[in-house]
Amino acid sequence: MADGVSASTQNQALAALRLLYDAVLARPLKRVDEFAAAPKRRYVPTVLSERELRTLLAKLRPLPRLCAELMYGSGLRVSECVAIRVKDVDLDRLEIVVRGGKGGNDRRTPLAERCVDPLRRQLARELDRFESDRRRDIRTTGVGEALLRKYRNADREWRWRYVFASVRTVLDASGVRRRHHVDESVLQRAIPDAARAAGLSKRVTCHALRHSFATHLLETGADVRTVQQYLGHKDLQTTTRYLHPNNRGRLGVRSPADRL
């Protein structure tokens, strides 16, 4: 790997060169032994303990805290969390349907009981704003033309509304005012800030909550294939990186130093 350049950056540059020579110059780039695709480093995922999670959540304001609880309790990516629509939350069956996740696939994932009451309150607040928006013809974003041909008023209906809708509205290219979901950056700033305020020494990101969801499920005996489905991993090998023996609490391998 080149000095100071990550594997993904080097591979992106190599791919760009190949595209230039193949598609533009029509002179396929010959193999150069000294310049090959760089292997990606395998990182150990950051996993928070239950104590650290409680401390982190206590430092968050209500909306980021609910999002953090969903990312940890349901194994959601930050992009999936902010884009949840009303129709995809089932408070009775305690599940969330993730639409168009990574790879464009849908999946079902569990909803924690502790999130039910905060979600009800969030939905009630959002319903009040939705009624106001409907009177002013402010519609929801992310409803494609193909879907609108099938459901003509989908972008005006409550069930297509984002659970975490943005405070601001935008004008689209056709002059229609719409309301998008909360930006991912709101959570990407709030969670590391809360971790620092809580005095956590680990590098805490939104994705660390998803890592913690997977690890804690496996520690409690969940089947790895079940966890794979909840996370939406295409490859089982991606899920098995959470199967470290030293991540299984008292049931795992003990350090030999404990026998001294």
Instruction: Catalogue the active-site residues.
Output: 77, 102, 207, 210, 233, 242
* 27 backbone φψ class: left, alpha, beta (φ>0; ψ -120 to 50): beta
182, 166 Cβ separation under 8 angstroms: yes
Chain centre to alpha carbon of residue 23: 35
Instruction: Find all residues with CB under 8 Å of 110, minimum gap 6, and list them.
Output: 73, 74, 94, 95, 96, 230
How many Cα atoms within 13 Å fall on the side-chain side of residue 139?
16
Interhelix angle 62-74/206-219, rounded to 10 degrees, is 40
Distance CA 77, CA 105 (A): 13
Structure tokens belonging to residue 75: 């194994």
Do residues 160 and 143 make contact, with C-beta atoms less than 8 angstroms apart? yes
Q: Which residues are bridge partners to 179 per DSSP? A: 140, 169
